[in-house]
A and B are shown apart, each in its own frame.
Chain A
Amino acid sequence: MLTLRAEFRKLFTLRSAYAIPLLALAVTAALAFYLAGWYATPQDLHDPGFLATQVASPLGIVVVFGALLSILLMTHEYRYNTIMYTLMSANSRGKVLLAKIVVVTAFALAFTVTVDVLSLVASYLGARVVRGHALVPQTIDVGDLLWRTLVFGWGYAIAGLVIATLIRHQVGTIVTVFLLFGPIEGILDAILGRNALYLPFTALGNVLRSKTVNTVLLPVSPGRAVLAFATDIAIGGIVAWMLFLRRDASS
């Protein structure tokens, strides 16, 4: 519990813990207000799932900010050598990693919900209030939308933490994460074909996309996509956990 409190205190006493989410929210507001709301097409305005779609769209972009913060929470420890205090303070390394997982989870969930709400409000303001467009009555399956966006937001954050625990080097981790969810999975996608849906970031993308883009025929249900991602992250997580317990504190 004390380790957990210390981890939260670490997060809240970091400048980047405020700057990164604020930047993410600014990007979210801009995307939702202008691109989704202000420039809504007549087709959009007649789509009862328009606002629900807008909730998911900015999240697909700003989720990297959440991943970035979780990466920093771990890699800063090695970059600034505070890891020795962190490991010394707890009588078990497992407690330290567990505390970081809880902090990243709490942050990711709060961040995702905030992005969801902001996207919804900003796109509504852009379309209905400022531009004066008439929207058809909207249908939002709140429960479905919430669990899929939460899994998506948490998935990126926890993947960032796992990769940071494996690599430990700050720049190395950031580059790896961006390469993984961009070019590397893109290339693997072309090679693996249908089996690419088991890749972690592709699986996460499928969780988010499933019901929001009705025209796209996805080869996997959100539930199965979650399972694929959970398997990937569990394998990576176990390796990261073992290394965290066994490696020297110095990177």
Chain B
Amino acid sequence: MIGAEHLAKRYGNTVAVDDISFEVETGKVTGFLGPNGAGKSTTMRLMLGLDRGAGATTYDGKALHAYRHPPQVVGILLEARAFHPTRTARNHLRVLATAGTIPAARVDDALDAVGLLQVSDRRPGKFSMGMSQRLGIAAAILGEPKYLILDEPANGLDPEGIFWLRQFLKDYAARGNAVFISSHLLAELAQMVDDVVVIGRGKLIASTSMRELIASRSPGRVFVRTDHRRQFENLLAQHALSYERAGDGFTIAGVTTDDISRLAFESRIPLLELASRAGSLEDVFLEITEGAEEYRSGTNSKG
């Protein structure tokens, strides 16, 4: 387990990270969410000791520098293009393998795992963003570490790459490892993560399982479509149910599909469509980080 305790970081008078504590459990993928400028990258760097600040992060109870070979404990991807542009992909990983006491054979294994074996002797300076991300992921998994800390690893990946990454990380965590991942692709993250840590303006907003987060913040909604619209509206009014018209149907809050199915059956109203509309991670994210955005689009922009 990764334990981050009271992480804090100031840049002059600006508080970038404000006393954040959370845990990342093994066997799970934990998403790290927050608006731009919320302090996600700074928090990750603090966790790794790359930035100097207050607080402590332990990996299985020990500080990272207490391990003899840190790359075998934590694999990182904080910047996609963190490589020398004229050092070949293979040599880039060889340097990392040497520094981390990782067997040289792992270099080709890692390149193969991310699909870059064919281009391993090419200089990565001209790699696309997607290829750069894959090289970064290869660097992260090189030492087969128990923990992966990845900052926006899906940026620049094509749909096949994103699908591959999702499966890869889920499998990696399922093998008893822990994956801590930040991403702005919330829909993608929702399919991947078990737990979430949400921050805004440097402060912790939530640290819980994704299921609990969505359940607590987003009451159930049901979508109904019927050709007896007036009758159905009367029925909803009789039972004091709040609803909105949505296209040729209705969205009803605070009920389940079972409730609506029973009501409609008792009133002999045929339903053409009945579907649960659970809140999405995106909905919840927007709700809980409202007001915590560092940068926000203008609402009255002209032209």
Contacts and interface: CB of A to CB of B under 8 A. Distances in A.
A92 to B, nearest CB: 7
B50 A84 contact: yes
A247 B84 contact: no
B81 A13 contact: no
B78 A246 contact: no
Nearest to A85: B96
A85 B139 contact: yes
A85 B88 contact: no
Given A14-B87, A86-B99, A9 B94 contact: yes
B65 interface: yes
A92 B63 CA distance: 12
Given A2-B98, A6-B95, A88 B48 contact: yes
A9 B95 contact: yes
Interface stretch (B27-35, B66-74, B286-294): B66-74
Contacts of B95: 6, 9-10, 13
A81 B45 contact: no
A99 to B, nearest CB: 9
A248 interface: yes
Given A9-B98, A88-B71, A82 B83 contact: yes
A250 B69 CA distance: 22
A9 B101 CA distance: 13
A87 B70 CA distance: 10
Contacts of A81: 78-79, 81-82
B179 interface: no
B51 A248 contact: yes
Interface in A85-109: 85-92
Nearest to A89: B99
B143 to A, nearest CB: 9
Interface in B175-194: none
A9 B90 CA distance: 12
Given A91-B67, A249-B51, A250-B50, A14 B84 contact: yes
Contacts, number: 89
A14 B95 CA distance: 11
Contacts of A250: 45, 50-51
A91 B70 contact: yes
B96 to A, nearest CB: 6
A71 B99 CA distance: 21
Interface string A55-97: 0000000000000000000001000111011111111100000
A246 B83 CA distance: 23
B231 interface: no
A138 B95 CA distance: 47
A194 interface: no
Contact of A248 (B52, B82, B139): B52
Given A9-B95, A13-B91, A91-B68, A84 B52 contact: no
Interface string A220-251: 00000000000000000000000000111110
A3 interface: yes
Contacts of A82: 82-84
Contacts of B69: 91
Nearest to A247: B52
A87 B64 CA distance: 11
B94 A13 contact: yes
A88 B84 contact: no
B78 A84 contact: yes
B76 A84 contact: yes
Given A13-B94, A248-B45, A87 B50 contact: yes
Nearest to B140: A85
Contacts of A5: 98-99
A6 B98 CA distance: 5
Interface string A1-33: 011011001100111100000000000000000
Interface string B206-225: 00000000000000000000
B37 interface: no
A82 B100 CA distance: 14
B41 to A, nearest CB: 9
A249 B79 CA distance: 13
A27 B109 CA distance: 43
Interface string A37-69: 000000000000000000000000000000000
Contact of B100 (A76, A89, A92): A89
Interface of B: 45, 48-52, 64-71, 74, 76, 78-79, 81-88, 91, 94-96, 98-101, 139
Interface of A: 2-3, 5-6, 9-10, 13-16, 76, 80-82, 84-92, 246-250
Q: Which 6 A-B residue pairings sit nearest by Cβ, starting from the closest?
A: A89-B99, A6-B99, A249-B50, A81-B82, A13-B91, A248-B51
Given A14-B86, A80-B84, A84-B48, 11 more contacts: A2-B101, A3-B99, A6-B95, A9-B95, A13-B87, A13-B94, A80-B85, A84-B76, A88-B74, A91-B68, A250-B50
7 contacts: A3-B99, A14-B84, A84-B45, A84-B82, A87-B50, A88-B64, A88-B74
